Structures are given as structure tokens and as C-alpha cells.
């Protein structure tokens, strides 16, 4: 159920509706819009009586929402979500880049990378301190020591930090120091973890699972939003198909329907999507064309000696060249880079 307030509804009337929702044992989600506020509600396992809310003062209408996703859907919030951070906003009319190495490496490398990115106007640095690796014998990331390096780099340069959370145990530490918490593809349906980041006060970048349908992806975002964290950024990173021409099949075709159904920003990770640095520029331009709100790209000063994922990591020269083209193209599609 979605209760849409009249344009002229007062703050008091809105608070009254919120209390009425809670009185039904449901969780109210106030969704302020450009011209009016709507109040979503979740937690209803059975039908809620519409008339309970339509008669309250200031209410324009109460609408039944039938899709399994509620908070992520356009029905409940027609306008695009804008995620606001100290480093700037993510959302419509923008095109945001997140770049950096696969894993956190030495403090010197991370500083060098952050400074290069900032010099090019890129405001977010990605690097994993905890790495989900297929093999228990592969490098598992620097862990807390890696987090400490990221914190130092952030303090020194002001760059926004995007790093992956793999378990509930480290949620507090990551929430403290990152600007965007990343949930990896393999954890897209780790529901305990989703519930936990729903309680965090930092935006969450939610990668699409390797074989997740659009609905499952939106439902994973719904878990986070249902917990009270509305700043979710979706990120397509390639799905699993029969194809063997690349590491994964980057599914840009999901962007238009996702945009039609859901108001959250969508990023694309062409590095994991292709697995090969030579293919990253073409797929980056394609992502912009398809309607993505940003990119997450693996870049490193010396990719051939990166600690992990070197084959799909660009060097700074290649990144600069891509940036140049994106800066020309993005404005033509109504986006500021």
C-alpha cells in the first residue's frame, strides 16, 4: 500500500499518517517527492484496508501495490533516486566514475591511484580489502590492514572510498570508513548481509548476481531499503550464459527495463563484465548509450603487476583516453561527467 499525500499536506498530517501505519504493525517509509510526499508501508503479510488511510486528513489517495518489490518500484516512487555524498551526487543527469585496483595494495600505490583519479575529476576510488575468491588458497585481500590504508588515503586526499563488505562481522568497520559499501555478486542473495547493510547509514552499491533475474535483483535492493537504507545503487557486472567469448556476459540489455521499473541509479562494471582490458572502452561507451548512470572500472598504475585481476585492469593512459571520449559523449546524452 502506498499513501499519497495532497500537495498541501502539512508536516503534522504526514506524521499522523506515519503513526497510523505503525499502529497497524507495519513499517512506514516516508518518500518525499518534488511536489508531494508519499508514505509506503511494508511488512503486511495480508491485505490492508485502503479506507483506513484514505479518510485521514491530508491524504490524496491510498494505492495498492501488487509487484513483489515495493520500495524499489516506480509505482511507489516515480522520480529517479539521487544519492548524495560529500564527494557529490549519483543519479540522473550525471555520469559517475568509480575506478581503482581490484585489491588494496601498498599505501604508495593507493595514494598514486587516488591522486591520479582526483586529477582527472574522478571522485571515487574502488579497491577491495576483503576479496571473495573462488579458491581458498588464492589471495584473500589485505583485510583490516587494507581498510586502514584506504582510510589513510581518504584522509589525505578526500577521495570517496568504495569497498566490498563480505560479512556482518566487518559491517561496522566498513560503515565507519567507506563512502559506498559494495555488496558483491556472489552475496546478492546473502539475505543476512543485505539486512545488515539495510541498517547502515552509507550508500550501498549492489552488484547483480551471476544468474539473477531483474526481479531478484530488485528484491535484493528491497531487502536493503526495507531496513531503512534508501541509498542503493545497482551495478550490472555480467551474468552467466553459455557464451565463452568473455569472462561473463555483460548484460546491458537489463538497463532499459530496470530503469522502467525502478528508480535507483544503475552502474556498469565493464571490467568484470568482459574480463579483458581491451574490451573495456567499447563496453563503457555502450553502457553510457544504454542509459547507465555511471561506471565502475578497474584501473591500476601498472596492471601487469596488480595483485589480482590484472588482465581486466586498465592503465592510466588507457583510462585517460576513455575519459576523453566519455566527456564528449555524456553531455550529448544529457549527462554531466
| Smaller CB separation from its own copies, 93 or 240 | 240
Would you say how long the chain is, in residues? 337
- List the one residue from 42, 50, 152, 157 that touches its own copies (CB under 8 A): 42
- Residue 287 binding its own copies, by CB under 8 A: yes
- List the one residue from 35, 51, 66, 135 that touches its own copies (CB under 8 A): 135
| Residue 207 host element (H or E) | strand 204-207
We find the least distance from the C-beta atom of residue 239 to its own copies, in angstroms, to be 7
- List the one residue from 32, 33, 43, 78 that touches its own copies (CB under 8 A): 43
Q: At what angle do helices 107-119 and 144-157 cross, to 10 degrees?
A: 40
Q: How many CB atoms lie within 10 A of CB 181?
A: 24
We find the least distance from the C-beta atom of residue 74 to its own copies, in angstroms, to be 13
Looking only at residues 94 through 113 of this chain, which bind its own copies when binding is defined by CB under 8 A? none
- List the one residue from 85, 151, 214, 330 that touches its own copies (CB under 8 A): 214
- Residue 205 binding its own copies, by CB under 8 A: no
We find the least distance from the C-beta atom of residue 199 to its own copies, in angstroms, to be 13
CA distance 153 to 160: 10
- Residue 333 binding its own copies, by CB under 8 A: yes
Q: Where are the beta strands (DSSP E) in 106-183?
A: 124-126, 160-164, 180-183
Looking only at residues 163 through 202 of this chain, which bind its own copies when binding is defined by CB under 8 A? 166-169, 186-187, 189-195
- Residue 144 binding its own copies, by CB under 8 A: no
Q: Cell for 106?
A: 601498498
| Residue 4 host element (H or E) | strand 2-5
CB 158 within 8 A of CB 150: no
Residues sharing a CB contact under 8 Å with residue 255, sequence separation 6 or more, in sequence order: 236, 266, 268, 287, 290, 291, 292
CB 294 within 8 A of CB 326: no
CA distance 195 to 200: 9
Q: Which stretch binds its own copies (CB under 8 A): 10-18, 114-122, 150-158, 285-293?
A: 285-293
We find the least distance from the C-beta atom of residue 334 to its own copies, in angstroms, to be 10
β-strand partners of 31: 38
Q: What is the DSSP pairing of strand 88-90 with strand 180-183?
A: unpaired
Looking only at residues 220 through 279 of this chain, which bind its own copies when binding is defined by CB under 8 A? 222-223, 226-227, 238-246, 249-258, 260, 273-274, 276, 278-279
- Residue 125 binding its own copies, by CB under 8 A: no
Query: Measuring CA to CA, how many Å separate 198 from each of 138, 158, 229, 313?
Result: 30, 25, 5, 31
Q: Which stretch binds its own copies (CB under 8 A): 120-128, 148-156, 304-312, 327-335?
A: 327-335
Looking only at residues 295 through 324 of this chain, which bind its own copies when binding is defined by CB under 8 A? none
Query: Measuring CA to CA, how many Å separate 99 from each of 18, 160, 193, 300?
Result: 40, 10, 24, 9
| Smaller CB separation from its own copies, 9 or 31 | 31
We find the least distance from the C-beta atom of residue 195 to its own copies, in angstroms, to be 8
| Smaller CB separation from its own copies, 81 or 190 | 190
Amino acid at each position: 500500500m502506498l499513501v499519497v499525500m495532497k500537495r498541501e499536506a502539512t508536516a503534522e498530517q504526514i506524521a499522523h499518517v506515519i503513526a497510523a501505519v505503525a499502529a497497524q504493525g507495519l513499517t512506514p517509509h516516508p518518500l518525499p517527492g518534488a511536489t508531494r510526499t508519499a508514505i509506503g508501508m511494508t511488512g503486511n503479510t495480508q491485505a490492508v484496508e485502503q479506507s483506513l488511510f484514505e479518510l485521514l486528513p491530508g491524504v490524496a489517495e491510498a494505492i495498492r501495490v501488487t509487484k513483489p518489490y515495493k520500495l524499489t518500484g516506480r509505482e511507489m516512487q516515480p522520480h529517479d533516486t539521487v544519492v548524495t555524498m560529500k564527494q557529490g551526487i549519483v543519479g540522473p543527469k550525471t555520469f559517475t566514475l568509480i575506478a581503482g585496483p581490484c585489491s588494496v595494495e601498498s599505501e604508495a600505490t593507493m595514494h598514486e591511484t587516488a591522486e591520479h583519479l582526483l586529477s582527472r575529476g574522478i571522485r571515487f576510488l574502488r579497491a577491495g580489502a576483503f576479496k571473495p575468491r573462488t579458491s581458498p588458497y588464492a589471495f584473500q585481500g589485505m583485510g583490516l590492514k587494507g581498510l586502514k590504508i584506504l582510510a589513510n588515503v581518504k584522509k589525505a586526499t578526500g577521495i570517496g572510498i568504495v569497498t566490498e563488505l563480505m560479512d556482518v562481522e566487518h559491517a561496522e568497520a566498513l560503515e565507519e570508513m567507506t563512502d559506498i559499501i559494495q555488496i558483491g555478486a556472489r552475496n546478492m542473495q546473502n539475505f543476512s548481509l543485505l539486512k545488515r547493510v539495510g541498517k547502515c547509514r552509507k550508500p550501498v552499491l549492489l552488484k547483480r548476481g551471476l544468474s539473477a533475474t531483474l526481479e531478484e535483483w530488485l528484491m535484493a535492493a528491497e531487502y536493503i531499503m526495507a531496513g531503512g537504507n534508501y541509498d542503493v545503487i545497482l551495478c550490472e557486472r555480467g551474468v552467466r550464459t553459455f557464451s565463452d567469448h568473455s569472462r561473463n556476459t555483460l548484460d546491458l540489455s537489463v538497463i532499459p527495463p530496470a530503469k522502467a521499473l525502478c528508480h535507483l541509479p544503475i552502474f556498469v562494471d565493464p571490467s568484470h563484465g568482459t574480463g579483458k582490458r581491451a574490451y573495456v572502452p567499447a563496453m563503457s561507451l555502450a553502457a553510457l548509450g544504454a542509459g547507465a548512470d555511471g561506471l565502475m572500472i578497474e584501473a591500476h598504475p601498472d596492471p601487469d603487476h596488480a595483485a589480482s585481476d590484472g588482465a581486466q585492469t586498465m592503465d592510466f593512459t588507457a583510462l585517460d583516453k576513455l575519459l576523453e571520449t566519455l566527456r564528449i559523449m555524456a553531455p550529448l546524452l544529457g549527462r554531466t561527467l
